[in-house]
A and B are shown apart, each in its own frame.
Chain A
Amino acid sequence: MGAHVALDIGGTFTDLVYFNDSTGELRHAKSSTTPEDFTLGIENCLNKAHVELGACETFVHGATIAINTLIEQTGARTVLVTTAGARDAYLIGRGNRPEAYNVLFKRTTPLVRRGMIVEVNERMTARGEALLPLSEAETAAVCETIAGFEPEAIAVCFLHSYVDPSHEQAMGRALRRAFPKSYVSLSHEILRQYREYERSSTTVVNSYIGPRVSTYLKRLETRLEGRKFPGTLLIMQSNGGVTSVTSASRAPVGLMESGPVGGINASAEIGRRLGFPQVIAFDMGGTTAKASVVRDGQPATAEGYYVGGYASGHPVMLPVVDVVEVGAGGGSIGWIDSVGALKVGPKSAGASPGPVCYCAGGEEPTITDANLALGRLNGENFLGGDMPLDTAAARAALKGKLADKLGLTVEEAALGMLKIAVAHMTLAVRGVSIERGYDPRDFILVASGGNGGLHAPLIARELSIPRVILPVLPAHFSAVGMLMTDIRHDYVQTHARSMAEADFAAIRAICETFVKEGKALLASEGVAPEHQEVRLSLDIRYVGQEFYLNTPVAYDEVVREGRDGIRKHFDALHQRHYGQSAEHRPVEIVNVRANAIGQRAKMEFRSGSVGAAKAVAQHRDVYLSDAKRPTRCAIYQRDALPPGTKVRGPAIIEESASTALLQEGDEATVCPTGEIIISIGGN
């Protein structure tokens, strides 16, 4: 029991949430992100919220430094060491051109130039036999060559090292001896899985960002020490968990996509507490909307992704929360293309100049301008009245840029923009649900981000999702989620055999190693044994397929060699994902995986933390589905709605940095812990 701090660095703002689980005290703060030295923004937030770190137990941190280092290409001078004959595996990639008809298609920009890729005379086979053993003379010669490049970082990726890493280990020892100041990553330590390009890329990214990220984490530790912080510093990872600074510095590539993770975890936790284990987390900010699915309280993860997009991005094949993102946010611009079709996004006015109504130089009508013109947003009460919005300017832009050209009224054009944006976002939500074999009617939608509450009820209606939850602090939701996140470490090892021929003794040995390593690591991070859990799974496919499904297994099933039972789990998964299964076909195992989880206490909102006695409504005209006639809507202030209050749509609920819209037939109920549950009409 004690005080906990979550600090989330975003592109524009640095957010802080402080929570004391003895007293229930909750504080939050926002300050501008300081890219020249992120720790300054952190200090600013701590000062603003008057947080005494000397009395805090944990400090959870979400940083963008890993992804920024890659995207801005400000990483280390990196050497790549490969098997002779495979020098170009990293540069050749998969040879594909996802933009098929674009003759000027741009491939991924490599992080290591060809001249700094060094071949080593060694070779393993797919069965782990040393076809060409690695000699000490060879490692010495390689070190000699590399010395000429004065590397800041080195990545090693040998063919088939996922089966037998001994060559990589020998090379690694020699390199670490010869270059004590360089950051060295060995591919099998990062990702013990087949496919040399993807493993090389993941390892190269790790080395490339390693020096900068680990230096940053050290500086952060120093800053916290300066403020007498006695507790544990934890870092958010892409996989949905947190980790220690030591682990994060060793594999910083695992921090790459930690941005949306907090919000997804908070959605999962709030769904669970309110009795809804099946959740779609939906976040809509200024430039994009993100959707992600949580099943039985577990956020869905993908086995990897492409940083910068599939077409030209860098593959990073580490578990990452599965997010579908579309370019639709408050700042998304409405425009007319060259043949007169109305489009919305993906271009965004962003934070600067921002929507027209911000009066900061924006000239193109945005989603926020459309909401304002329709009366859905309150121009006088935006950000608690700190930033009045110019409705007349928004209307003028909608008229001049869109409505007049299309022969529509301002309201018709604004409604049209919202409809198109909602259609795009609906596709994203469909992408994580229907297209993965899940029926959205079994889910609730948790809406966060400044724009979540305005649009989530409309998306829910499109997909027949019965309920939308508006959480407490929707605009600090990511930081809130950091105080609800467990420690997590992932393990994978390729073991490619048919189910019939699979060596279960070997699989068992792999599992036991994972369990042992996982628990030791968790213990070193201060997790008590009763809070440690290791989940095992196998990647399985029908013989002849390439894509496999990650199938959870119990340790007991591995020990019993429960081949039939395991394949039944797989058949059922296949049926659900693709609407088809093939019980008569042989199956094969591809990878063994484990997630080691260290459970942490999660922040709880106290009852009665909000609330006046009785809800009082004001009224204003709002355009709902009819562009010709506005509806007189009741307007409520969220912090004046006591628990138990019911609000019927049409209505609007406003708070400092977020607004929610209830359509005719929707009904909102305020929970004892402050969340609002909206039942969507017609469902």
Chain B
Amino acid sequence: MAADPITVEVLRSALPAIADEMSYVLKRTSYNMMIYEVGDYSCAILDKDGNLLAQNGGGVSHFLADMGVVIRDGVQRIKKFEPGDVILMNHQAVCGQHLNNMCVYTPFFWQGELYGFTIIRAHWIDVGGYSTGFGAGMAAADPWLEGLQFNQLKIYKAGQPNEELLAMISDNIRYPESSMGDLDAQITACNLGLKRLEELFQKYGEGTVTECIERIFAQSEAHCRQVISEFADGTYEFETEFDDSAAAQDGPIRIHAKVTVAGSDMTIDLSGCSKQRNSAINSRTLAAPYIAYKALTSPVDPVNEGSFRALKVILPEGNFMMAQFPVPMASWSTALPSVIDAILAAMAPARKSMTPAAHKGAMGDALTFFGNDPRTGKRFVVQSTEGGGWGGRPFEDGPSASCTICQGDVRNGPIESLEQRFPIVVEKRMMRTDSGGAGTFRGGLGLDVQVRNLVTGRWNLTQTGRHRVPPWGLWGGHTGGKPERLVRKPGENDWSPVNANWYQVPPETRAVVRSAGGGGWGDPLEREPMRVIEDIRDGMVSIEAAKSEYGVVAKMSGKRGLEAVELDAEATTRLRQQMRSAHAAE
């Protein structure tokens, strides 16, 4: 058999199918919501040089094609691999993410020779230190405070478990029944991948598989080049700011994207972004430029090493996204959605009909409450990740209450599921009226989530980075509503803003997480007046904002139902004229 076009096509679906099957088994046998609900993991197949052969679809996006460094480092340092080895790795010098993201990988041998690896990176609910839940966040001043570090350790050697190491891990994490179960799930899924690879190699032979893979890489690259070559040559730039932790006293983070298109080549230069920081916002990752490039070129195709060959990334050592060990990295992914939005916004003039305004732009907007339930004597951690607004689009309003571009198939925790498992009551999970940025096409709405804790415990209530500079509009669209964190303890009458981790509260405290809305697209005065009226009828826009943002005047009709609110067409025309002349005068 040879690498004819037909076999290439068969393997093109067969390789991702293996990664997807690994994902199916991992999700169903895992023990923490970060895996089964949030999908904070990725399953991949790499060759021994660290080239990505296939990665699962779904799951979070910011793990895009980022396992190569782990494998190359492992191959260099572990001289000898044997069948039955299982390696554990989360060290930030190479992985560059928070320590909760635990890589587990197994070598694949074909006819006695090392060919490659199956690998799964998955978010453990706790790795000791401050790492509980979504991760240590801004609380961790260095990697040792954050949690346990594993640096290319064999936890299974030729099929034999290292019992002492396993016991040591189990004793030093808070939820061993969860994470040790996740470890088993990762190993099971990796082994399944090995078995499927073996079947594939048996059927097609190593030579054919390798040749087909190279052909698939080349086709992926050619496809990307074709898309890029349709954009006008030139240099495109965009700049924004992102809040850093006030305690770090570094000032806001500068995000500067410079994109150069020359024929079918694209360079994404992020050297204008801030240097590494004192806070835990640092990382070592190409996720932002990779996700942006993927969104620009081939959003729905499977990913492989060829998907990024035509992209050049400039991200110098010491940049906050190419930070050097041992700076803290516990909040590694928070700013990435804004970096991606900045790259897309830079390219907006070259693709006006395809670029939405900014989305909520920051990881976070999570509910995290943990402690010991005195009623059961058991330790618990409540987690749910809440969506926010996406930007208005060139042809329609932006979606509301959706997760960031880095998260993909991440699902919130159902209220009924959270209340079944944990000592809380979710009193409200609602869209925030007027949080969508005004525009010809309105931004999506952010959320307002209010939770009452029934027992004493600690909240992680960190403000997201888009508080001071909320998601921007495009082409005259307005910014989206900014995010908030509020708390009200029993006996207090007012809500107080809060920005803290491990924030201890008594029972009957109420916490509020408000996510940002998306930016608007185009001048709000150009929005069809009846659309604004429909928004009022649906409670998405208030009567006051309709007037002040859109120049649309509503009147009460005296009817019941939706038609209680009607358009005052004359008053609207007058008001819009006034507003336009006022703008012109500015």
Chain A: interface size category: 35 or more
Contact indicator B188/A580 (Cβ below 8 Å): yes
Contact B399 A85 (CB under 8 A): no
B211 to chain A: closest CB distance in Å? 15
| Contacting pair B399 A105 (CB below 8 A) | yes
Contact in complex: A95, B403 (CB < 8 Å): yes
* B206-265 contacts to A (CB < 8 Å): 219, 222-223, 226
Q: Counting CB contacts under 8 A, is A558 at the interface?
A: no
Q: Max chain A CB contacts within 10 Å: which of B58, B410, B416, B564?
A: B416
B434 sits at the interface (CB 8 A): no
Q: Tell me which residues across on chain B come within 8 A of A430, comparing CB atoms.
A: 17
The reply on B54 being an interface residue by CB < 8 A is no
Interface-side segment among B23-31, B132-140, B162-170, B319-327: B23-31
One digit per residue, 1 when the CB lies within 8 angstroms of any chain A CB and 0 when it does not, for chain B 28-59 equals 11111100110000000000000000000011
A92→B36 contact, CB < 8 A: no
The answer to the question of B5 belonging to the interface, with a C-beta cut-off of 8 Å to chain A, is yes
Q: Which of A100, A194, A344 contacts B417 (CB 8 A)?
A: A194
- Distance in Å: Cβ of B29 to nearest Cβ of chain A: 5
Do A86 and B429 contact each other (CB < 8 Å), given the known contacts A100-B58, A102-B300, A585-B181? yes
Across the interface, name the chain B residue whose C-beta is closest to A462: B203
A72 interface residue per 8 A CB criterion: no
In the assembled complex, which residues on chain B have CB atoms less than 8 Å from the CB atom of A115? 534, 537-539, 562
A564 within 8 A of B: no
| B31 lies within 8 A of A544 (CB) | yes
Most buried by B among A85, A96, A408, A547: A96
A residues in contact with B222, CB < 8 Å: 339-340
Interface flag for A98 (CB, 8 Å) = yes
- State the CA gap A337–B226 with chains docked (Å): 12
B385 CB, nearest partner CB in chain A, Å: 8
* Shortest beta-carbon distance from A431 to chain B in Å: 9
B564 partner residues in chain A, CB cutoff 8 A: 148
Give the docked Cα–Cα distance between A415 and B177 (Å). Answer: 53
Interface residue stretch chosen among B8-16, B149-157, B274-282, B492-500: B8-16
Name the interface size band of chain B: 35 or more
B295 within 8 A of A: yes
Hey, which chain A residues are within 8 Å of B429, CB to CB? Answer: 85-86, 88-89, 92
A546–B36 CB distance below 8 A: yes
A291 to B387, alpha carbons, bound, how many Å?
Answer: 36
* Contact between chains at B295 and A496 (CB < 8 Å): no
Determine the chain A residues whose CB is within 8 A of the CB of B27 once the complex forms. 547
- Distance between Cα atoms of A160 and B420 in the complex (Å): 9
Cβ of A524 within 8 Å of any chain B Cβ, yes or no, is no
A147 at the interface (CB under 8 A from B): yes
B560 within 8 A of partner (CB): yes
CB pair B219–A196 under 8 Å, yes or no, is no
Interface membership of chain A positions 156-188, coded 1 if the CB is closer than 8 angstroms to chain B and 0 otherwise: 000110100000000000000000000000000
CA distance A612 to B414 in the complex (A): 64
Given A86-B429, A114-B538, A547-B27, does the pair A91, B400 have CB atoms closer than 8 Å?
yes
Nearest A residue to B444 by beta-carbon distance?
A107
A435 pairs with B32, CB closer than 8 A: no
Per the bound structure, the CA–CA distance linking A106 and B300 in Å amounts to 13
Partner of B226, one of A114, A194, A339, A574: A339
Q: Are A100 and B419 in contact (CB under 8 A)?
A: no
> Shortest beta-carbon distance, A342 to chain B, in Å?
5
- Once A339-B223, A579-B188 are accepted as A-B contacts, the answer to whether A419 and B387 lie under 8 Å apart by CB is no
- Given known A-B contacts A92-B431, A96-B409, A343-B9, A545 and B400 have beta carbons under 8 A apart: no
Q: Is B401 an interface residue (CB 8 A)?
A: yes
* Interface status of B510 (Cβ within 8 A of chain A): no
Contact A578 B25 (CB under 8 A): yes
* B48 CB, min distance to chain A CBs, angstroms: 25
Among the 9-residue stretches A380-388, A420-428, A480-488, A511-519, the one with 4 or more Cβ atoms under 8 Å from chain B is A420-428
| Interface membership of B428, Cβ < 8 A | yes
Q: Does A225 contact B (CB under 8 A)?
A: no
- Contact between A97 and B428 (Cβ–Cβ < 8 Å)? no
Quick check: is A341 within 8 A (CB to CB) of the other chain? yes
A535: interface (CB < 8 Å): no
Question: Does A22 sit at the interface, judged by CB under 8 A?
Answer: no
A306 within 8 A of partner (CB): no
Q: Tell me whether B17 and A342 are in contact (CB under 8 A).
A: no
Known: A423-B13, A544-B32, A578-B28. A147 touches B538 (CB 8 A): no
Within 8 A of A (CB), among B535-551: 537-540
How far apart are B180's CB and chain A's nearest CB, in angstroms? 10
Instruction: Give B362-393 interface residues, CB cut-off 8 Å to A.
Output: 385-387, 390, 393
> CA A114 – CA B417 in complex, angstroms?
24
Chain A residues with CB below 8 A from B28, complex form: 545, 547, 577-578
> A382–B10 Cα gap in the complex (Å)?
30
Given contacts A149-B562, A545-B30, contact A101 B299 (CB under 8 A): yes
A339 to B59, CA, bound (A): 28
**Which residues 406-451 of A sit at the B interface, judged by CB distance below 8 A?**
406, 408, 415-416, 419-420, 423-424, 427, 430, 435
List residues of chain A with CB within 8 A of the CB of B409.
96-98, 100
Contact of B267 with A by CB under 8 A: no
Neighbouring A residues of B21 by C-beta, 8 Å: 435
Q: Which B residues, 381 to 438, have Cβ-Cβ distances below 8 Å to chain A? A: 385-387, 390, 393, 399-403, 405, 407-412, 414-417, 419-420, 425-431
Which chain B residues lie closer than 8 Å to A105 at the CB level? 399
Q: How far is the CA of A339 from the CA of B402 in the complex (A)?
A: 34
A99-B299 contact in complex given A88-B429, A342-B9, C-beta closer than 8 Å: yes
Contact of A509 with B by CB under 8 A: no
Scan B277-318; emit 1 where CB is below 8 A from any A CB, else 0. Answer: 000000000000001001100111000000000000000000
In the complex, B61 has a CB within 8 A of chain A: yes
Partner of B415, one of A89, A162, A423: A89
A116 to B539, CA, bound (A): 10
A542 within 8 A of B: yes
B386 engages A101 (CB within 8 Å): no
A92 with B387, Cβ < 8 A, contacts A150-B561, A341-B8, A578-B25 known: yes
- In the bound complex, how far is the Cα of B419 from the Cα of A424, in angstroms? 42
Q: From residue 322 to 346 of chain A, which have CB atoms closer than 8 A to chain B?
A: 337-344
Beta-carbon contact of B420 and A103 below 8 Å: no
Tell me if A137 counts as interface (CB < 8 A to partner B).
no
Q: In the complex the two chains form, what is the Cα distance from A415 to B386 in whole Å?
A: 50
A419: B residues at CB distance < 8 A: 6, 10
Does A506 interact with chain B (Cβ within 8 Å)?
A: no
Is A194's CB under 8 angstroms from B24's CB?
no
| A341 engages B9 (CB within 8 Å) | yes
Q: Contacts of B410 on A, CB cut-off 8 Å?
A: 95-97
Nearest B residue to A406 via CB reads B5
A342, B3: Cα distance in complex, Å: 13
Q: With both chains docked as a complex, state the minimum distance between the C-beta of A589 and any C-beta of chain B, in angstroms.
A: 13
| B61 near A86: Cβ-Cβ < 8 Å | no
Q: Residue on B with the closest CB to A420?
A: B9
Query: Closest CB of chain B to A308's CB: distance in Å?
Result: 16
CB of B58 within 8 A of CB of A148, answer: no
Which one of A91, A126, A546 lies within 8 Å of B401 (CB-CB)?
A: A91
Measured CA separation A148–B558 after assembly (Å): 11
B159 CB → nearest A CB, Å: 15
B448-504 with Cβ < 8 A to chain A: 450
Q: A148-B559, A337-B223 are in contact. List 18 more A-B contacts (CB 8 A).
A: A85-B426, A86-B429, A91-B401, A91-B431, A95-B403, A97-B407, A100-B409, A101-B61, A101-B299, A196-B414, A340-B219, A341-B9, A341-B219, A435-B21, A545-B30, A547-B36, A577-B28, A580-B29
The 8 closest A-B pairs by CB, nearest first: A100-B408, A148-B560, A95-B387, A148-B561, A544-B31, A94-B411, A114-B538, A101-B299
Chain A residues packing against B (C-beta within 8 Å) = 85-89, 91-107, 113-116, 125-126, 131, 147-150, 159-160, 162, 194-198, 337-344, 406, 408, 415-416, 419-420, 423-424, 427, 430, 435, 496, 542-547, 574, 577-580, 582, 585
9 A-B pairs (CB sep. < 8 Å): A86-B429, A88-B430, A95-B410, A95-B412, A103-B405, A148-B562, A194-B416, A339-B226, A340-B219
